[in-house]
Amino acid sequence: NAGVTQTPKFRVLKTGQSMTLLCAQDMNHEYMYWYRQDPGMGLRLIHYSVGEGTTAKGEVPDGYNVSRLKKQNFLLGLESAAPSQTSVYFCASSPEGWTSETQYFGPGTRLLVL
Amino acid sequence: GQNIDQPTEMTATEGAIVQINCTYQTSGFNGLFWYQQHAGEAPTFLSYNVLDGLEEKGRFSSFLSRSKGYSYLLLKELQMKDSASYLCAPFDGSARQLTFGSGTQLTVLP
């Protein structure tokens, strides 16, 4: 199993450009999450999904959109990138269940917006 | 919401024991996770406490007191590879969300 994978690993954008970050998991997990991590700060939840076809806002959703058309994929979109969105983006997934809330993280996508 | 407080940095010597504390204030609490994150890498799961008390797993132990909003991660027999950031993350079961602290950067010196 590959676990959680993210594409791309690194990207440079100019202000105003758009892009989509792809997260894929092969563990049949119901829940998927997008976080951003900035220096000196913890991981902050952007959006999450509790199942195929569902999405919900997290702590810092502004400027981002997401889609979960297939259970294994969770896409994060930036419609008009801003320098404040320079960050490391982590995707995670977790199985449904009360005692099994361990989140498995992808390797991260480093995004630089100029 | 959740307020999480953990030290920013700690330093310890190889072979020693170190305790990383975490206090939290939550609107809905169903357990607390500890994650390890090496520089430039993704967080990896260390422990999950849902009940009060100590959970031991090899060199790592984690303690939780729900009434005090307090947890600690205890690392024994420190090794150089333990140099990493340690993230405290209370879990809100009703919102199904983890909220992460800023992390404690542990440096293990020879």
Q: Convert the pLDDT of each residue in A59-89 to its tens digit.
A: 899 999 999 999 999 999 999 999 999 999 9
Contacts A90 to B, Cβ<8 Å:
42-43
> Does A99 score more than 60 pLDDT?
no
pLDDT of residue B2: 62
Task: Kindly state the helix (H) or strand (E) to which residue A109 belongs, with its residue range.
Answer: strand A109-113
Contacts A50 to B, Cβ<8 Å:
96
Question: Chain A interface, mutation test: which of B51, B88, B100, B104, most A Cβ atoms within 10 Å?
Answer: B100
Cα–Cα distances in angstroms (integers) from residue A108 to residues A6, A31, A92, A114, B14, in the given order = 6, 17, 10, 19, 29
Q: Return the number of other C-beta atoms located less than 10 Å from residue A2's C-beta.
A: 9
Nearest to A26 by CA among A84, A96, A103, A93: A93
Nearest to A30 by CA among A58, A61, A68: A68
Q: Place A98 in a pLDDT band, splitting at 50, 70 and 90.
A: very low
Contacts A108 to B, Cβ<8 Å:
41-42
- Between A100 and A27, the more confident residue is A27
Nearest to A7 by CA among A112, A110, A114, A86: A110
Check CB contact under 8 Å for A105 and B44: yes
**Average pLDDT, integer, range B92-108:** 86
On whether any CB of chain A is under 8 Å from the CB of B44, the answer is: yes
pLDDT of residue A101: 61
Distance of residue A101 Cα from the nearest chain B Cα, in angstroms: 9
Which 3 state secondary structure label does DSSP give B95? coil
Quote the tokens at residue A103.
């989140």
> Does B10 score more than 50 pLDDT?
yes
Nearest to A1 by CA among A104, A78, A103, A109: A104
Check CB contact under 8 Å for A48 and B97: yes
Check CB contact under 8 Å for B33 and A59: no
On whether any CB of chain A is under 8 Å from the CB of B60, the answer is: no
Token look-up 């500890």 returns B34
On whether any CB of chain B is under 8 Å from the CB of A106, the answer is: yes
Check CB contact under 8 Å for B45 and A104: yes
Q: What is the DSSP letter of B47?
A: E
On whether any CB of chain A is under 8 Å from the CB of B97, the answer is: yes
Check CB contact under 8 Å for B100 and A105: no
Quote the tokens at residue B51.
């009940």
The mean of the pLDDT values for chain B is 92
Helices (H), chain B: none
Contact assessment for residue A67 and residue A79, using Cβ atoms and an 8 Å cutoff: no
**Average pLDDT, integer, range B50-66:** 94
**Average pLDDT, integer, range B70-74:** 97
Q: How far apart are CA B73 and CA B22, in angstroms?
A: 8
The mean of the pLDDT values for chain A is 92
**Average pLDDT, integer, range A89-114:** 84
Contact assessment for residue B30 and residue B91, using Cβ atoms and an 8 Å cutoff: yes
Q: How far apart are CA B35 and CA B17, in angstroms?
A: 18
Dump the DSSP string for A44-108: EEEEEESSTT--EE-SS-TT-EEE-SSTTEEEEEESS--GGG-EEEEEEEE-SSTT--PPEE---
